Structure 1
Amino acid sequence: MKQLLFYIALIFSFSAQTQELKVGILRAYDLSAVRISYNEGTYNVYGDSTELTSIWSGQSIECKRSGDKIKLVKDDKTLGTFDTVYFRGVESGNSFRIRPTSPYSKKERKYKDNIMLIPSGNTEITVINEVMMENYLPGVIESEGGGGKHIEYYKVQAILSRTYVLDHLSKHRKDGFYLCDRQHCQAYHNMMRFTPDIQKAVNETAGIIMLDHQLELADGYFFANCGGQTSESDFVWNNPVPYCRSIVDTFCIRSWQANWTKKIPKSSWKNYLVQQFGYPVNDSIFGQYLYAFSQPNRKAFYIDPRLGIPLRDIRTEFKLKSTWFDCHLEGDNVVLEGKGFGHGVGLCQEGAMSMAKLGYSYEQILKFYFTDIQLFDYFHWLFLRQEEMVGL
């Protein structure tokens, strides 16, 4: 029985790695209607299990919520109303264009492979891109990191994104898909359009994943710029992540996002610290540091841990670029002089980009930012786990 369960898991994982992922797209909209148009190839259109029509160059179909079903309209002709609608490419290399029409958006997006639409809620449509892993990852990497980067950096992002997908296949199961297109999953705004090196990076790292010291899938946390030092994970989140330790990073310090300054009214600063945390303004020691704070290395708390004022809370309250800052008083303002942009845990994107330009490999970059991680072939990893799963 255990052996059977292993092979079922293996088949599911193989499907996730080499066949279609289900990704919820356009999740920023409460959609009740979309227009789906030709981009490349030919699509057959199905209402439930019935083939209805095809779309090719110059053609499109309007998909509208109608009662508890979805109505399809092509060339002003209603094709019917259905529980589920599918657009399936006839050959490989198909891609479609999609635009929200209710609510209306001028922005049109393009995606590869297939699409499914199902009713959701009382008036909405859920749109799911059924996309091959090798087509999904380039879209994510271009959405997250943009173009013009060194291919070794794109290889880093490919491995982090692939590992994330395989570790979060159940994140949106209740919604009918695996992952969505928003940042709390992975940004996925379009298929890859402008940067061929990204596709090359995905292909050249095919199947490679990142594992922690216990040979479990590792979360590849990343952010824009660390300012010269990454953060301990428990400075930002409640639980420590063993492979995300603070390191000194000089590769990002010349970037424009490495330093920042912000002025906050003295009264706002004082009121927040006193009202939220009971800052002892009259204390003979702590009172003099209310507006004066020095942080030569990253810390977790303002002034002193005994005061219980997490820097992450101050960052959220005043919308700061990072938790790494010094502050002093100038007139009626508290001046914050900070470093870095983002939560600071894991991989510094601008540092990694600089390392790639200097000739470091993707493996060297990942092992610089993450502690005691290993890079493995996905299927090799699955077979290593077989012994544990079958209890031999």
Structure 2
Amino acid sequence: MKQIPLIQVGIQFKETIEFTLHGQYKTNAGIALAGHYKAVKTNGGITLSDGSEEISLQSGIGINPESPDAYFTLHNVTIGINFHWERDEDQSFKGGLKLILENDKITAVNVLPVEDYLMSVISSEMSATSSLELLKAHAVISRSWLLAQIEKNQSLQSNASEYQSVFESDDEFIKWYDREDHLNFDVCADDHCQRYQGITRATTEEVEKAVRATWGEVLMNGDAICDARFSKCCGGMVEKFENVWEPVNHPYLQAFVDNDADPAGFKFDLKTEGNAEEWMRGTPDAFCNTTDKEVLSQVLNDYDQETNDFYRWEVRYVQSEVSELIKKRTGIDFGTIQEMVPVERGDSGRLIKLKIVGDKKTLTIGKELEIRKALSESHLYSSAFIIEKEEADGQLTFVLKGAGWGHGVGLCQIGAAVMGAKGYDYNAILMHYFRGAELNRKY
């Protein structure tokens, strides 16, 4: 059997990092460590202090456990970065610790086998009490996505051509986000990649059973591992990959209604403004159109349940508020916002391009996440929204009426939870969301 790959996960990025080693550890240079340490930058390297002794380390040196029951705790790790529930918490991890100097900060990286990582990701991304078929589906897509990113990162580093994700002119600023920022490790631990919180989130027998039942299984498209994306709630229509990220078509990441039958009374070309408006004002039948608290609790951790308007939502901004917000979030002074005009929508109705008209400047922005960032202190639930204007007592209000939470590409977690509750097995769930892909055991 092939060896299980080791991966490197970026956990924390701060000028000073504090951690506690529970058990005996040793650096690659043979220095024995145990207990509580503070790491600070010094003269191109890193200095560890336990209060009585200082130890100098080179950037990138590994700190490895001497026994299988050893683990380490990183203190004050920020989770939910830029989301509405952002907070700091202590987190504990199995495996090795690597400290890297980058961007004038210290990055703490966890080094561990893929399958150990998956045990945590599934428990971090959703409730560890989710149905077994949902957990198995999530194990496969999380494993597939991770290994696909490692392949992509290797390709980027070996490719001499510059990787471009920003297109800017006098009239437009178009940017798409992905995980290619991470050159010194494979993935980060927050929602930008996959939510990973080590052994902090309690795993369960069901999670372990799901990982072991799918051990080494990935989704394949021909000879390539699928870039298996997922989001919380697609809003009833799954989005195409290239409408959110880089302009590359993946045949297994296409647009379709999140249901086993098309809901009546709707037109499904949501690139058309009128059809998109009807869709978002309505509540079409879809797997993810549910208020079943038992099903939702399978997917949502406590902090996610602080919000419950996933399928359809509404946000209101008075004119002065949205003008100040957009200036703050984009760094561009549009003046007083007069209009927000949909320019281009993706297949799910998500806005790819939005024209912002102010009395000082007019600019079209995109893609999906850039629009969400501009219109919220954290991230707007999704870019699938229509814009209404209301005027009362001389005050203009912009009303955003939207659908779903997240980018909507690939597996819809709430929809998949409903499918699991309806009796679909994990293979059927995967084939619903990743059409044309095949399951293959890599190790």
Letter in 1 for 2:289: I
CA distance 1:82–1:323, change in 2 (3 Å): closer
Any unmatched runs of 5+ in structure 1? 1-10, 278-292, 380-392
TM-score by length of 1: 0.71
Task: Write the letter of the residue equivalent to 1:24.
Answer: G
Distance 1:65 1:324, change over 3 A: closer
User: Residue 232 of structure 1 corresponds to which residue in structure 2?
Assistant: 240
For the 8 Å contact 2:21–2:33, the answer to whether it is kept is no
What is the aligned partner in structure 2 of residue 35 from structure 1?
19
The aligned residue for residue 271 of structure 1 is: 338
Match of 2:10 in 1: 24
Aligned to 1:222: 230
Alignment partners' CA distance in 2, 1:144 and 1:245: 23
Question: Which residue, 117, 127, 133 being the options, matches 1:152?
Answer: 133
- The 2-side partners of 1:71 and 1:299 are apart by 47
Count residues in correspondence. Answer: 329
| 1:229-308 correspondence runs (5 A) | 229-237=237-245, 238-249=247-258, 250-255=286-291, 256-265=309-318, 271-273=338-340, 298=349
- Return the offset for 1:148: 3.1
**CA pair 358-115 structure 1, distance change in 2 beyond 3 A:** same
Find the partner of 2:435 among 359, 365, 371: 371
Distance 2:353 2:41 in 1: 52
1:128 alignment partner in structure 2: 109
- In structure 2, the residue matched to 1:201 is 210
2:361 paired residue number: none
Q: Using the TM superposition, give the Cα deviation of residue 205 of structure 1 relative to its aligned residue in structure 2, in angstroms.
A: 0.8
Partner of 2:89: 107
Superposed CA deviations along residues 56-92 of structure 1, whole A, max 9, x for unmatched, are xxx33443333233333346234x3232654322232
- Greater RCO, 1 or 2 (C-alpha within 8 Å, sep 6+): 2
Q: Which moved more, 1:109-118 or 1:200-209?
A: 109-118
| Rounded Cα–Cα distance in structure 1 between residues aligned with 2:409 and 2:26 | 45
Aligned-partner Cα distance in 2 for 1:338–1:243: 26
Does residue 82 (structure 1) correspond to residue 57 (structure 2)? The answer is: yes
Distance 1:210 1:228, change over 3 A: same
Of Structure 1 and Structure 2, the greater helix share is in 1
Please say if residues 99 and 108 of structure 1, whose CA atoms lie closer than 8 Å, have aligned partners that are also in contact: yes
Structure 1 residue 236, shift from structure 2 partner: 3.5
Higher alpha-carbon Rg: 1
| 2:397 counterpart residue number | 333
Letter in 2 for 1:92: P
What is residue 287 of structure 1 aligned with on the other side? none
**1:130 Cα deviation from its structure 2 partner:** 1.6
Q: Could you say which residue in structure 2 is the equivalent of 1:324?
A: 384
How many angstroms apart in 1 are the aligned matches of 2:339 and 2:105? Answer: 41
Q: Which residue, 32, 52, 57 being the options, matches 1:53?
A: 32
Asked if structure 2 preserves the Cα contact closer than 8 Å seen for 1:43 and 1:87, the reply is no
| Equivalent position of 2:150 in the other structure | 169
Let me know the Cα RMSD of the aligned residues: 3.7
Q: Tell me the distance in 1 between the aligned counterparts of 2:119 and 2:20.
A: 22
1:254-301 Cα shifts (integer Å, max 9, x gaps): 244111123345797972447x97xxxxxxxxxxxxxxx9x9973767
Report the CA distance between 1:239 and its aligned residue: 3.7
Query: Alignment partner of 1:36: what SS?
Result: strand
Structure-2 change in CA distance of 1:265 and 1:64 (3 Å): closer
Q: CA–CA distance in 2 between the matches of 1:364 and 1:357?
A: 13
Whether the 8 Å CA contact 1:36–1:60 is kept in 2: the answer is yes
Q: Gaps spanning 5+ residues in structure 2: where?
A: 78-86, 158-181, 259-285, 292-308, 324-335, 355-363
Asked if 2 retains the 8 angstrom alpha-carbon contact of 1:142 and 1:192, the reply is: no
Aligned to 1:108, the other structure's residue is in SS state strand
- Shift in Å, 1:21: 1.8
Structure with greater proportional strand content:
2
Overall identity of the aligned pairs, in %: 26
* Distance change >3 Å, CA 120–CA 259, structure 1 → 2: closer
Aligned to 2:89, the other structure's residue is in SS state coil
Cα distance in 1, alignment partners of residues 62 and 425 from structure 2: 42
Q: What is the Cα deviation at residue 318 of structure 1? A: 3.1
Q: Distance in 2 between matches of 1:128 and 1:371?
A: 34
| Conserved 8 A contact 1:24-1:181 | yes
Question: Which shows bigger deviation, 201-210 or 142-151?
Answer: 142-151
Give me the whole-angstrom Cα distance separating, in 2, the residues matched to 1:149 and 1:297.
27
Query: What's the TM-score once normalised by structure 2's chain length?
Result: 0.63
Query: Are 1:73 and 2:49 an aligned pair?
Result: yes
Checking the alignment, whether the CA contact within 8 Å between 2:350 and 2:382 is kept in structure 1 is no
Aligned to 2:270: none
Cα distance in 1 between the residues matched to 2:88 and 2:249: 43
Task: Return closer, same or farther for 1:112/1:337 CA change in 2, 3 Å cut-off.
Answer: same
